[in-house]
Structure 1
Amino acid sequence: MFELIKKAIKVNTLKLVAIATFFYILCAFIIYAIEPENFKNPFIGLWWVMTTVTTVGFGDYSPETYMGMVFGMFLYFSGIGLIGIILGKIVDSFTLYRRFKEEGKLSYRGENHFVLIGWSKKAQKTLDEILINEDNQSDIVLIDQLDKIPVEHENLYYLYGDPTKRETLEKANVLKSNSVTIFASDNEDEVSADGKSLLIASAIEIYGMEHNKDIYTIVEMVRDSHVKMFNHVKINEFLPSNDTFPFLMAKSMQYHGSSHLFMQLLSKRYGDDLWKIKPHPTWKTYRDAFHSLQEKGANLISANNDLGIIRRLDEAIPKGTNLFIICDKETFHSVQQK
């Protein structure tokens, strides 16, 4: 019996389930053959077998003959042991799945997610900012070569791999992502960090071109002078790694308290925030949008990346335009429902 148990443990889980299913059905027919008057059909026999091996034991059916009792004792030892092995393998499978997820060995199959490439202090702050947003229902896929996932969160998925390789991009389902953001490494010099970002961005562009798909790409640049090196690569946005702080400091020196305004725009932790909306069908011109939003308590500040629309309010709103507004969360939802 112990030798059989040892062999059963080594059997593939699916194969073991198939063997157990056949064994339990066979036992149902055997007990039906032994006591046909007590177990009136094989299904009742199967009911008794399953309540026995799962140790539920309702007692509604039980063997009444010596032969049936002997068979029941056989079932106690063999059937209960078999289902115990199956349950153990199922638990092991969940444990293995969790370990693979932590180590980044599983592919991601979701859509409209954010892909973050490269773990750094700035990547962590960016991740924290996204995760605190209650309105964000999108998942985040982090690609790096860490031993395990750096932060535990239900919306964060980790993928171990080289982001310049096609198989890694496929596992991250980059083609169906919302955007891909490439972060500079904390442990490399400026040239190496930006050079690595250039290589990754090139790999993403080539991968997208192979599938006729434009992948929205955002790159953190350590040195501004390197931006021209990216001219042959399609990058949607460059974000300076070191310049933002001095710019904010200069504004604060010139206009006291202005840093509080920027913090509201940069983070959802503070006051009113920056939101993106689609124009309502009834809005024909920017003036229509401006007045309608004003009545709701929202400030229209930009059409796409153009901050000068306040001087062109009578112009028609082109199709595909995204409007940016400043307001609180409640007002944003009110505008969205309009």
Structure 2
Amino acid sequence: MFELIKKAIKINTLKLITIAFVFYISCAFIIYFIEPDNFKNPFIGLWWVMTTVTTVGYGDYSPVTYVGKIFGIFLYLTGIGLIGIILGKIVDSFTLYRRLKEEGKLSYNGNDHYVIIGWSTKARKTLDEILQNNAADRDVVLIDQLDKTPFEHNNFYFIQGDPTSYEILDKANVLRSNSVVIFSPEEEDEVSADGKSLLIASSIESYGMEHDKDIYTIVEMIRDDDVRMFNHVKIDEFIPSNDAFSFLMAKSMQHHGSSQLFMQLLSKRFGDDLWMVKPDPTWKTFRDAFNGLRDRGANLISANNDLSIIRRLDEEIPVDTSLYIICNKETYHLIQQAW
């Protein structure tokens, strides 16, 4: 018996479940043939078998003959042990899945998600901000060469590996992502960090071109002078790592209290915030957009990255224009639902 159990443990889960299924069906027919008056059909036999091996034991059906009871003892010794092994393998499968997920070995199959490349203090703060105020409830996928996931959240996934590898980009499903953000490594000098970001950005561009897909890429740059090195690489946005703090300090010195305004626009934790919407199809000019958004409680401040929109209200809205507005979350959702 013990040798049989040891061999059963070594069988893969799918094969073991198949064997168990055949075994329980066979037992159902056997008890039906042994006591046809007591077990009216094989289904009732199967009901008794399953309530027996799962130790539920309702007692609505049970063997009454000596042969039937001996067969019941055989079922106790074999069937209960078999289902115990199956349950153990299922638990082991969940444990294995969790371990592989923590180690970043599993592929991500979702879409319209955010991809973060490079784990750092800034990446952690960015992740906290996204997950805390995730209006679209999008998942976030991290690509890094860490040994295990640095963060636990239902909407967070970790892919372990080299972000310049097409195989790793495939596992992160980058082609179907909303955007990819590349963070500079903290442990390297400025030149090496920007050089590594350039290499990763070039790999992503090449990967997208190979699949005829435009991947929206945002890159953190430590040295502003290095932006010119990216002229041959299609980067959608550059975020200066060091200059942003200096610019914010300068604005605060010139206009007292302005830092609070910038912090409110940068984080969704404070009341009104900056949002992006697509124009209503009925709007022809920016004035139509301005008035329509104002009536719903939102301020139009920019068309794409053009802040001079207030002086061009009578111009027609170009195709594929993105409008940036300031309002609270409730107003934003109402606008999204309206068109």
TM-score range, shorter chain: over 0.9
Q: Paired residues, what number?
A: 338
Q: Name the structure 1 match of 2:101.
A: 101
1-side partners of 2:16 and 2:108: how far apart? Answer: 29
User: Per-residue displacement from partner, 1:126-171 (whole Å, max 9, x unpaired)?
Assistant: 1011011141310000000111111110000000010111100000
Q: Name the structure 2 match of 1:331.
A: 331
Q: Name the structure 2 match of 1:193.
A: 193
2-side partners of 1:316 and 1:165: how far apart? Answer: 44
Q: Name the structure 2 match of 1:56.
A: 56
Q: Name the structure 1 match of 2:302.
A: 302
1-side partners of 2:289 and 2:333: how far apart? Answer: 16
Q: Name the structure 2 match of 1:76.
A: 76
Q: Name the structure 2 match of 1:152.
A: 152
Deviation at 1:282, TM superposition (A): 2.0
Question: Given residue 66 of structure 1, which amino acid in structure 2 is its aligned partner?
Answer: Y
2-side partners of 1:11 and 1:288: how far apart? Answer: 69
**SS in structure 2 at match of 1:308:** helix
- TM-score relative to the length of structure 1: 0.98
User: Per-residue displacement from partner, 1:159-204 (whole Å, max 9, x unpaired)?
Assistant: 0010111100000000000011100001000111111111111111
Q: Name the structure 2 match of 1:46.
A: 46
2-side partners of 1:115 and 1:173: how far apart? Answer: 9
**SS in structure 2 at match of 1:325:** strand
User: Per-residue displacement from partner, 1:272-323 (whole Å, max 9, x unpaired)?
Assistant: 1001111112211111111222222211100011111111100011121111
Please provide the CA RMSD for this pair: 0.9
1-side partners of 2:271 and 2:61: how far apart? Answer: 67
Deviation at 1:67, TM superposition (A): 0.5
- TM-score relative to the length of structure 2: 0.98
1-side partners of 2:140 and 2:192: how far apart? Answer: 26
Q: Name the structure 1 match of 2:249.
A: 249
Q: Name the structure 1 match of 2:125.
A: 125
**SS in structure 1 at match of 2:307:** coil
1-side partners of 2:329 and 2:59: how far apart? Answer: 59
Deviation at 1:331, TM superposition (A): 2.1
1-side partners of 2:19 and 2:337: how far apart? Answer: 56
Establish whether residue 312 from structure 1 lines up as the match of residue 312 from structure 2. Answer: yes
**SS in structure 2 at match of 1:220:** strand
Q: Name the structure 1 match of 2:20.
A: 20
2-side partners of 1:271 and 1:28: how far apart? Answer: 65
Structure 2 unaligned runs (5+)? none
Q: Name the structure 1 match of 2:65.
A: 65
Question: Given residue 188 of structure 1, which amino acid in structure 2 is its aligned partner?
Answer: E
Question: Given residue 28 of structure 2, which amino acid in structure 1 is its aligned partner?
Answer: A
Question: Given residue 89 of structure 1, which amino acid in structure 2 is its aligned partner?
Answer: K
Deviation at 1:229, TM superposition (A): 1.1
**SS in structure 1 at match of 2:233:** coil
Question: Given residue 307 of structure 2, which amino acid in structure 1 is its aligned partner?
Answer: L
Q: Percent identity?
A: 76
Q: Name the structure 2 match of 1:89.
A: 89
User: Per-residue displacement from partner, 1:242-285 (whole Å, max 9, x unpaired)?
Assistant: 11001000000000000011011100112310011111122111
1:194-233 map, 5 Å: 194-233=194-233
**SS in structure 2 at match of 1:115:** strand
Contact 1:142 1:157 in 2 (8 A): yes
User: Per-residue displacement from partner, 1:103-122 (whole Å, max 9, x unpaired)?
Assistant: 10100000000000000011
Question: Given residue 329 of structure 2, which amino acid in structure 1 is its aligned partner?
Answer: K
Structure 1 unaligned runs (5+)? none
